[in-house]
Structure 1
């Protein structure tokens, strides 16, 4: 059986139209007021065609071939990757969520999220190259000088030039305060950047002529720690056409996403320009990192979708003990769990993208402020939980193939390998849990979370066991906050379970919303949605309760 992908377009449309009611929200945003569901559907259909017909056939090829660095430091990506990228640019995909002011199409991030899910499902390694573009666009647009914006934004929006995010150094992974890369001011207003960075995705490649590096660095008068970091734009090719003095010293040989050039970069007095204020680089970079974290969550979702649908197809064909293995209880329960988890996380991730759209474009200032807070709350949950499931879901799915699943040609083992990195980069999942606990819940006393949970509970019917779970979670959160106030030293012990408890709570709302809208589906699809709701109530809700219990036990004062 071949490893194939069929974009879940029917479910995507169902989520947009009936679960999130996106068209109504778009009408409240001047930027999207003319967008209708049929137009959105046409965009997603074309994205699905590109992902399945252009990218998916290159996935296994890229995994085997990997990237090659020559003796002069140039990096060649796998066969077919440059042509696929040129097709991506020709289709206008990089410009999809960018503003028309800079040559963008002005479409919602919600549609871009659906696009990213499909690209990652079909070829995570390839999508590593354009996945940072939108974050670079947002960072430059918000913080760069007018001259830098005029020079770089149109080419980033069009995809003519790609971008790289240069944070990590050998001694500084999660602890960015240890960064040493130096920035020396020059008389002409530029900077000379010197230092070494590692794990730089797309730091060097052959997809575009120029690569715009956004580099965290320190000015001579910088204070110690993260408060002393500045952000510089350092292009591979300078405005006069000369080659900048930045070099790829190596490409990592990795467990997964082997088609993505993960580079060790050296900056030797490279010319760059300050973005934003001196010593405020991390705040500017957070725009790029927050965009990247949503995109990483979508990587986890894409892997789950790919694993779930291929496992179901294989289980329907593989006969053991006289019947298809899909009919055996253990396999049937696993397949149902994979499917409902992917569906509910799609709702959650798309809700986060919708929050970002509304925070930027809604006509009511109060709604913009509320959705900004919701987006900040949802981002660490989407990143951490979707990537956790993005690895553990496919790892469980591998067992459907039995021993064949451990063999490269069947496809699932690559998915498992590729998915693992998403739990680590753009802030480890443990750091996301700390961020949720300290900066998103404890910092405001749970105000935003309670507001969100109240709104979600109101969308579920009274007596629904899923609503009961959401309401119980509200009580658990109140108790956790009380524990945290009494003994903050134990807060971090509970952070991982807290995040998973919150995630299961949000998924319960998502499943409940899908169930209440199921009557709008054809009869067979509606019956399937009801079956999946039952599977979630039986399997996932008890797990959510367990995470809340563990979080409360860990946070309880000694």
Structure 2
């Protein structure tokens, strides 16, 4: 992306302050009681300034130069990346939402997500380097032994050390049960303690094997990278039950190499500024994280955090592409929007009905997804800091339900949205000068990594809906229907509210139909999964449009209130019918796959 990106600060503050009313939540949470809306806005504004002024100018450069392996076997990043990262760490930004126990600032995840949006929109590839920090910190905090936490968390929180997630192997992509990477015990007594569920210190391991598609496995931004490696210990059973998780640094304490080798960098469609590495571990020393055989449970802490960050990639690209499309359509004059007329000159593209529909679709997607993604971040804060235990549990359950939806829905429609923006620009959208072709290349992988979108749909239907007999989904629908009822009482929103209400009714009807279909055919939920995810995603957008319109109507700005009501009406009329089609398809148990 080029430096033409402008952070949508006004829209971001509107969502945080007025739609989600987050500052009111902070007053009820001891850890954030001193945080007010003005301070939060200042934090986001400073983060956005860094994104626009420092980071965005490196984006096209990084795409052209890419990464390389030097003569010493280290990954060298594109021009400007290291300086930008040093400035980011110097400013204390990696520690924004981290636990103060380890040097973090303890600010809400919601603010971190907002800043993250601006970083990703400015330079997706650069932001990938720090993208796993939060997940690595969460994994070590939840499963790491106390000595590992004391040793590594302060540097991770500060950003002085970065992290990599090492799961995939040539034969083990989505099916991690095929992982072959091995760990050997270095201390027999520690091994016995670990296997017995005892011991105060993390057991030391020696790790050997190969991993593939590892983002940022080694580079010149930091002297150390911590690999979280999925592996098998001696005597471990076959399958996923035999997997354990290890922490493996690229460097030893004395700064010497630790047997972690980057053998090659992948040549990719996009994200050229982010090194995707083939890694070999040769008796590399590390430590066990968590209990033996519990590697997937520990790894999913990191992976779920990463999936929400990937959802933000879809939103960020949508925002930037939408800005580009609207700006171009306002200036470019072509044809006559109102039909042939000798007196009329060429009209701006934005005046043509076909283009207007594309532009409003981009707006509806972008603004709706921002509300839903920010709401998920707000729930993360509730799950971590609400005083009431029941509220914490409910929020965590809601985040678990939303995570696969947001990862898949935001990246799918983010990619489609960038393509739609390219269509607005016509031939100019296809050339590098306008930046959209790089966005399209960079974002495509987001539909694949951190679990393909199809895997997200399966996770949603099997583990998040059917596993609790739909209790989590019904609780979510109560929240959506509360907003619908409020909107239905406003004449300007009644039509849109009725459309969203119909989608919620479809969702409620889908639950018994899905259970019945599964009883008749165990594969039925798998056939329905993609439709169900899309249906729920569109329903959430319908709720978001209503929530924005209600907040704007109560905000005293008549022009904004009319604008958001128009957006809700457009979304209900032109886009929300897709939700009902997907709900119908999800419960059509008669559909077969050849």
TM-score bracket for the superposition, by shorter chain length: over 0.9
Higher mean alpha-carbon deviation, 462-471 vs 403-412, is at: 462-471
Per-residue deviation, residues 367-425 of structure 1 (Å, max 9, x unmatched): 11111110100000010000001111101110111111111111000001111000000
Partner of 1:422: 446
DSSP-derived class of the 1:553 partner: coil
Residue pairs, 1:153-168, within 5 angstroms:
153-168=153-168
Shift of 1:488: 2.5
Partner of 2:491: none
Is the 1:299–1:422 contact (alpha carbons within 8 Å) kept by the matching residues of 2? yes
Partner of 2:326: 312
Shift of 1:357: 1.1
Deviating above 4 A after TM superposition, structure 1's stretches of 4 or more consecutive aligned residues are 554-558
Q: 1:3 to 1:311 in 2, by over 3 A?
A: farther
**How many residues in Structure 1 have an aligned counterpart in Structure 2?**
558
Shift of 1:466: 4.0
Is the 1:191–1:273 contact (alpha carbons within 8 Å) kept by the matching residues of 2? yes
Shift of 1:556: 6.9
Is the 1:3–1:410 contact (alpha carbons within 8 Å) kept by the matching residues of 2? no
Partner of 2:265: 251
Task: Quote the Cα distance in structure 2 between the aligned partners of 1:138 and 1:550.
Answer: 38
Residue pairs, 1:108-187, within 5 angstroms:
108-187=108-187
Residue pairs, 1:343-492, within 5 angstroms:
343-460=367-484, 461=486, 462=488, 463=494, 464-478=497-511, 479-492=513-526
Is the 2:517–2:589 contact (alpha carbons within 8 Å) kept by the matching residues of 1? no
Structural RMSD (CA): 1.6
Indicate the structure (1 or 2) with the bigger Cα radius of gyration. Answer: 2
Task: Quote the Cα distance in structure 2 between the aligned partners of 1:554 and 1:235.
Answer: 50
Q: Which of 513, 524, 529 is matched with 2:564 structurally?
A: 529
Task: Quote the Cα distance in structure 1 between the aligned partners of 2:82 and 2:519.
Answer: 54
Task: Quote the Cα distance in structure 2 between the aligned partners of 1:521 and 1:2.
Answer: 36
Task: Quote the Cα distance in structure 2 between the aligned partners of 1:295 and 1:104.
Answer: 19
Task: Quote the Cα distance in structure 2 between the aligned partners of 1:32 and 1:42.
Answer: 15
Is the 1:473–1:505 contact (alpha carbons within 8 Å) kept by the matching residues of 2? no
Partner of 1:228: 242
Partner of 2:193: none
Shift of 1:534: 1.6
DSSP-derived class of the 2:132 partner: helix
Say yes or no: does 1:88 pair with 2:123: no
When normalised by structure 2's length, the TM-score is 0.92
Task: Quote the Cα distance in structure 1 between the aligned partners of 2:519 and 2:52.
Answer: 50
Shift of 1:557: 9.7
Q: 1:152 to 1:316 in 2, by over 3 A?
A: same
Is the 2:382–2:395 contact (alpha carbons within 8 Å) kept by the matching residues of 1? yes
Shift of 1:555: 6.7
Partner of 2:541: 507
Task: Quote the Cα distance in structure 2 between the aligned partners of 1:85 and 1:360.
Answer: 28
Per-residue deviation, residues 95-147 of structure 1 (Å, max 9, x unmatched): 01101110000011111111111111110000000011010011111111111
Is the 1:203–1:265 contact (alpha carbons within 8 Å) kept by the matching residues of 2? yes
Task: Quote the Cα distance in structure 1 between the aligned partners of 2:45 and 2:592.
Answer: 53
Q: 1:14 to 1:466 in 2, by over 3 A?
A: farther
Task: Quote the Cα distance in structure 1 between the aligned partners of 2:446 and 2:525.
Answer: 25
Is the 1:135–1:291 contact (alpha carbons within 8 Å) kept by the matching residues of 2? yes
Task: Quote the Cα distance in structure 2 between the aligned partners of 1:533 and 1:351.
Answer: 18
Is there any run of 5+ residues in structure 2 with no aligned partner, and where? 191-202, 336-345, 489-493
Per-residue deviation, residues 467-501 of structure 1 (Å, max 9, x unmatched): 42343233332333333344322110110000000
Task: Quote the Cα distance in structure 1 between the aligned partners of 2:133 and 2:589.
Answer: 40
Shift of 1:73: 1.6
Is the 1:190–1:273 contact (alpha carbons within 8 Å) kept by the matching residues of 2? yes
Q: Which of 218, 233, 247 is matched with 2:232 structurally?
A: 218
Is the 2:2–2:60 contact (alpha carbons within 8 Å) kept by the matching residues of 1? no
DSSP-derived class of the 2:381 partner: helix
Shift of 1:21: 1.5
Shift of 1:445: 0.7
DSSP-derived class of the 1:111 partner: helix
DSSP-derived class of the 2:523 partner: helix
Shift of 1:523: 3.1
Residue pairs, 1:293-308, within 5 angstroms:
293-308=307-322
Partner of 2:362: 338
